[in-house]
Amino acid sequence: MVVFEDYLASIDNLSRLSRASVLKKRDYGPIYVRCTLNSVKKKRGILLIAEHNGKIIGFAVGLIHKQSMIQKIELKRKTRFGYLSELYIDRKYRGTGVAKDLICGIENYFKEKSCDTFTTDVFAPNARARRFYEKLGFVERSIGLLKEI
């Protein structure tokens, strides 16, 4: 989790991400893991971990979201959303199929839980991740914008 956040901070063109500004380096990982596991439990989700020779080389977190009242009114059909909240692969293992395997595992879990939609967000500066998701069949649905004031 620490390496993951450091990576995101390194590509943040607005310099808004920094775990160091909030927590001491030694505290960040355990707190982030605890918060992630709480989200997984609360939202009936799943955490998948990829290992190679006993070393963690990546992870993916999938959460299940129920429709909000507004979504129930607006959408044509009732749906349950599977949401990929986190995906990280160690740089040495990118392009090896590990990420695709984790995504497939998350998707299968969502199917078992009767989700009919699988969504994720991509950090705008992470063009490589966006291309990866598009290869797996994800399509652009909405675009978030930010303005510093």
User: Tens of pLDDT along 39-51?
Assistant: 989 999 999 999 9
What sign does the CA torsion over 74, 75, 79, 83 have?
Answer: negative
Terminal-to-terminal C-alpha distance of the chain: 30
42, HSE (Cβ side, Cα atoms, 13 Å): 6
What is the domain range of residue 9? 2-135
Structural domain count of the chain: 1
What residues pair up with 44 in beta bridges, in sequence order? none
Q: Is residue 143 part of a domain?
A: no
Q: Is residue 24 part of a domain?
A: yes
Q: How do residues 76-127 score in pLDDT, each as one tens digit?
A: 666 778 999 999 999 899 999 999 999 999 999 999 998 988 989 988 888 8
Q: Taking the model in full, what pTM does it have? A: 0.77
Question: What CATH number is attached to the domain comprising 123?
Answer: 3.40.630.30
Q: Is residue 145 part of a domain?
A: no
Where would I find the beta strands (DSSP E) of the chain?
46-52, 55-66, 80-89, 117-120
- DSSP, collapsed to helix, strand or coil, labels residue 85 as strand
**Minimal CA–CA distance to 99: which of 125, 135, 45, 46?**
135
Q: Is residue 122 part of a domain?
A: yes
- CA gap 120, 86 in Å, rounded: 8
